[in-house]
Structure 1
Amino acid sequence: MSFKIAIIGAGSVGFTKKLFTDILCVPEFKDIEFALTDVSEHNLSMIKAILDRIVEANKLPTRVTATTNRREALEGARYIISCVRVGGLEAYADDIRIPLKYGIDQCVGDTICAGGILYGQRNIPVILDFCRDIREVADTNAKFLNYANPMAMNTWAAIEYGKVDTVGLCHGVQHGAEQIAEVLGAKSPRELDYVCSGINHQTWFIELRLNGRPIGKDELVAAFEAHPVYSKQEKLRIDVLKRFGVYSTESNGHLSEYLPWYRKRPDEITRWIDMSDWIHGETGGYLRYSTETRNWFETEYPQFLEAASKPIDPAKRSNEHASHILEALETNRVYRGHFNVRNEGVITNLPQDAIIESPGFVDRFGINMAAGITLPEACAATCMASINVQRMSVYAAIAGDIDLLKLAVLHDPLVGAVSTPEEVWQMVDEMVVAEAAWLPQYAHAVPAAKERLSKSKVKTREWAGAARRNVRSIEELRAEKAALKQAG
């Protein structure tokens, strides 16, 4: 087989390498072309060198090109994969820093909440640019695989306004299933059969079977509470399981910021989170992790390049959906996964226009969703709160409507639990002004926002958050890695 895959945001070096090696684990895909594109020539040069080394070490005919000219990369592509972060870590820092001034403590801030909504405002105009280029220069039947957050908003915009065949992909379901299999004592995650459905980052394991035996709420709660690690790291997640009756896919930290109950007071935050790793609820945890990862990669690049000389091992193919979807579409080997698509009746008690994440099967005829799923009422209610925020956020991003943007932020569950309307109005003004370089649709609104900020009497505070950690230096990371190696 010979076709072209374009990766937008290929400068996300580690993730691009994973997708690349996964795809080349499919025997029929050795003779394809990867076209890498990114706004950073520096990152492009690094990832191309790594992929070239992999191709050379494995004696493959695979072709790898790299360009900052996106249309050139997309020309003739059958598949387009996006893993972009518009605004980079600079804008992301404002997504965390500014809401903290108003008492809003986020762990990740890339899905909803104040940070995720503004992230969507930055991404959506760029996503629509991608879609225009796909329609104009890519293969006629091109498929757009979106890995970038905020997943639901980006996918919603690409489908409804970009008019491109799009599927959103995430790995939260797989990770949640691995946890459940572990606490139940399974020898392999394959022993666990499940139905998991909802919206991205709020999907729910509504049916579980271990080796064919149904698993109920009480057994699952007992298994998590008895686990020596998860009982401490996933306290909030376990509490939701007890109250809702089903387990959420999302980590303790992620889940905490989509709900109005657990992160609204500093003493409550520290009660429910765990500081053993950022993902369990640390204030700005993913921002810190991302910053450290970038710094580490830049410093340790020669070691990453050297590691690329090893043979590809198909046994180590990851459970990221992309390679499995492409394999199913191209070879007709059926793949079952969980995909972000427009609802249209798949989940009976969520809106038709919502972007849902639910089970589906892929073969040469495309992605075929399992329809007629009904969520437990509490899960549906929680998803609905986010869907309404997502819908308003997408509409605001398309129209450049700052008033609708403020209403979207006001209706966010955590923001609404913490902040007053006056605080929300000022916070959005402040975020739009700070991130104006990445918000072209709001250029007309920036002068008035600046004027309002100059006259505002709403009080803010400089607050690091309830559980903030400093970014570690390369020396600290190196010492920690050495200590772990010695201990292991």
Structure 2
Amino acid sequence: MKTYKVVTIGGGSSYTPELIEGFIIRYEELPVRELWLVDIEEGREKLKIITALARRMVKKAGLPMEIHSSLNRRDALKDADFVTTQLRVGGLEARAQDESIPLKHGLIGQETNGAGGMFKALRTIPVIFDIIRDCKDLCPDAWIINFTNPAGLVTEAVLNHSDWDRFIGVCNLPFGMEMGVSKILEVEKERVRIHMAGLNHMVFGLDVFLDGTSVKKEVLDLMVTRSSALNMKNVMDLPWSPEFLKGLGAIPCAYHRYYFQKEEMLAHMLEDFSKGASRATEVMEVEKTLFEKYKDANLADKPEELEKRGGAYYSDTACNLISSIANDTGDIQVVNTRNKGAISSLPYDCAVEISSLITKNGPIPLATGVLPVGAEGIVQQLKSFEKLTCKAALSGKYEDAFVAMVSNPLVQSEKIGRLVLDELLLAHESYLPQFREVIENLRNKS
């Protein structure tokens, strides 16, 4: 039986026990012989803690899976079959800036949407490209499974600005939506499938199937009173009106609230901000608690508190995908991949988040045609923003970053967009080497 070598970049993440659990559960179908956990020097202590926990989990399971750790990814990558990426450039401190600086100027501050999401992409895309260069040298046949946010934007950059095609973006949101629908319908998750299409964190459930039969109308009716079942831990829960759901004719995801309930979401975030609270500060506390638990030499299981981190179903999402590629299953999963005409109103080569057949040669997106009219405009606008952000991340030009910022539907202001752009550039100077000259000019002006 073929065995596999998996390398996880960002192995010191608090999410990693989810991944370990996923590989343990699936060992019979996906025998991982080596799992390498890789991090950077700043993550040395967390990596040490996670590695020890991973070894305890594998030992308890009685599996011949070797757990290695390294601060040098080139030492780890040689002959890898799969490389997973779950990194956060700048850590949670950078996330706090992404959230607080836009809020200071009256804009939504969020790690994957708006100005904050743009800057997470500007910091992340060059690092992902560095990883790809190493993979080309050391494991040219590996699949890179990217969980790093913003997953769709990162996938867009790789598929259209590099020559690496074996790259798939994953997100736990679609899996969580199917779990939520199964709870609404009070059935097992395996009986439910949502046909999804759109962009990462702007994906729509176009149809819902229970045992192969469409039940979309029933689910939309039930969502009026039970939409909380589909919400995420990191997004404020606001109900959808029956008129909106009926008019949209599709299942919205949690992140749609930032666009379709913008005023209420902003007011809530500003209230928290006035008290010195944010999702970043909340996650910092959760992580502190988690790592104290992870240190316990008697702990050999994933703790329940990990779900508060926002990573629920990560192992199911990532490990299901890896297993399906390895076993050429041809099952349907929601991934970020090249459109290839599946959504007819978006460019052929662009990255989309869409229900796809998973094969040993990668995803085959399911033909969708045009999106509902209520989804079409916002998806087109965000795809333009994604393309502009990719251009800025690779050019390091101020004008490219400025037009990307202003074009985002959560900004749409030259005046405020400039203020936020300049402040975020200065705040993240250490992680934006491509903007070094731009940032020096900003400092000289100030």
Alignment of 1:264-343 (within 5 A): 264=263, 269-270=267-268, 285-303=278-296, 305-308=297-300, 320-343=316-339
SS in 2 for 1:227: helix
Out of 433, 436, 443, the position equivalent to 2:429 is 436
Would you say the 8 A contact 2:101–2:420 is kept in 1? yes
Q: How far 1:368 moved relative to its partner?
A: 2.2
Alpha-carbon distance between aligned partners in 1 of 2:212 and 2:402, rounded to the nearest angstrom? 48
Matching residue of 1:374 = 370
Matched, 1:85 2:78: no
Question: 2:71 — aligned with what?
Answer: 68
> Shift in Å at residue 97 of structure 1?
1.4
Q: In the alignment, what sits opposite 1:360?
A: 356
Q: Secondary structure at the match of 2:46?
A: helix
Give % identity.
24
Q: Does 1:199 align with 2:217?
A: no
Residue-by-residue CA offset, 1:238-280 (whole Å, 9 max, x unaligned):
66424312111x22xx3222x2x532478x745xx9x9xx9xx
CA distance in 1, matches of 2:316, 2:84: 12
Residue in 2 aligned with 1:476?
none
| Equivalent pair of 2:3/2:32 in contact (CA under 8 Å) | yes
Q: Which of 347, 352, 363 is 1:351 aligned to?
A: 347
* Alpha-carbon distance between aligned partners in 2 of 1:194 and 1:230, rounded to the nearest angstrom: 15
Alpha-carbon distance in structure 2 between the residues aligned to 1:309 and 1:384:
43
Alignment match, 1:178 = 179
Q: Whose radius of gyration is greater, 1 or 2? A: 1
**Cα displacement (A) at 1:65:** 1.0
Q: Measured at CA, do residues 425 and 296 of structure 1 come closer, stay the same or move farther in structure 2, by a change above 3 Å?
A: same
3-state SS of 2:410 partner:
helix
Deviations 1:50-72 (A, max 9, x none): 11112222222211111110111
In the alignment, residue 429 of structure 1 is paired with which amino acid? D
CA 1:200/1:284 → structure 2, altered by over 3 Å: closer, same or farther?
farther
2:308 aligns with: none
Q: Displacement of 1:226 after TM fit?
A: 3.3
Separation in 2 of the partners of 1:114 and 1:60?
A: 45
Contact in 2 for aligned 1:147/1:170 (Cα 8 Å): yes
Q: Structure 1 residue aligned with 2:245, among 232, 241, 247?
A: 241
Query: Which residues in structure 2 correspond to 1:146-185 (within 5 Å)?
Result: 146-164=146-164, 165-183=166-184, 185=185
Give 3-state SS (helix, strand or coil) of 1:27's partner: coil
SS in 1 for 2:298: helix
Q: Does 1:388 align with 2:384?
A: yes
CA distance in structure 1 between the aligned counterparts of 2:244 and 2:178, rounded to whole angstroms: 16
- Aligned residue type for 1:361: L
Partners of 2:10 and 2:38 within 8 A in 1? yes
For 1:349, the aligned partner's letter is S
Quick one: structure 1 residues 295 and 238, their matched pair in 2 at CA, closer, same or farther if it must change by over 3 Å?
A: farther
Q: Where in structure 1 are there 5+ consecutive unaligned residues?
A: 311-315, 455-488
CA–CA separation in structure 2 for the residues paired with 1:121 and 1:284: 25
For 1:335 and 1:119, the matched residues in 2 are separated by 32
Structure 2 partner of 1:220:
219
How far residue 318 of structure 1 moved from its aligned partner, in angstroms, is 6.9
Whether the 8 Å CA contact 2:227–2:239 is kept in 1: the answer is no
Counterpart position of 1:55? 58
Answer whether contact 2:145 2:168 (CA < 8 A) is retained. Answer: yes
In the TM superposition, what is the alpha-carbon distance from 1:348 to its structure 2 partner?
Answer: 0.8
* CA distance 1:216–1:37, shift in 2 (3 Å): closer
Contact 1:85 1:148 in 2 (8 A): yes
Q: Check 1:207–1:222 CA distance in 2 against 1; reply closer, same or farther (3 A cut).
A: closer
Cα distance in structure 2, aligned partners of 1:431 and 1:229: 33
Q: Please tell me the residue identity of whatever aligns with 2:179.
A: E
Counterpart Cα distance in 2 of 1:435 and 1:122: 8
Q: Aligned partners of 1:150 and 1:21: how far apart in 2?
A: 24
Residues 406 and 309 (structure 1 numbering): CA distance in 2 closer, same or farther, change over 3 Å? closer
Deviation at 1:213, TM superposition (A): 4.2
Q: Is the CA contact (8 Å cut-off) linking 1:94 and 1:434 kept in structure 2?
A: yes
1:14-163 equivalences in 2 (<5 Å): 15-24=15-24, 25-30=26-31, 32-39=33-40, 40-106=43-109, 109-138=110-139, 140-163=140-163
CA deviations 1:129-148 (Å, max 9, x no partner) are 0110011112x311110000
Give the CA deviation at 1:33: 0.6
CA distance in 2, matches of 1:133, 1:381: 38
Q: Given residue 263 of structure 1, which amino acid in structure 2 is its aligned partner? A: K
Matched, 1:410 2:406: yes
Closer/same/farther in 2, CA of residues 16 and 335 from structure 1, 3 Å limit:
farther
| Aligned pairs, number | 424
1:307-330 CA deviation, whole Å, 9 max, x = no partner?
3169xxxxx997623222222232
Per-residue CA deviations over 1:74-118 (Å, capped at 9, x if unaligned) read 121111000000010111111111111210133xx2223000001
Q: In the alignment, what sits opposite 2:307? A: none
Looking at structure 2, the residues matched to 326 and 359 of structure 1 have their Cα atoms a distance apart, in angstroms, of 16
SS of match in other structure, 1:413: coil
In structure 2, what is the Cα distance between the partners aligned to 1:284 and 1:390? Answer: 29
Contact 1:30 1:60 in 2 (8 A): no
Q: Deviations over 1:348-386 (max 9, x none)?
A: 112223210111122334322223433112212111111
Q: Cα–Cα, structure 1 residues 294 and 226, in superposed 2: closer, same or farther, change >3 Å?
A: closer
Please tell me the residue identity of whatever aligns with 1:128.
F
Residue in 2 that maps onto 1:462: none
Match of 1:6 in 2: 7
For residues 112-166 of structure 1, the C-alpha deviation after alignment (integer angstroms, 9 at most, x for no partner) is 300000110000110110110011112x311110000011121122222332210
Cα RMSD, aligned residues only: 2.7
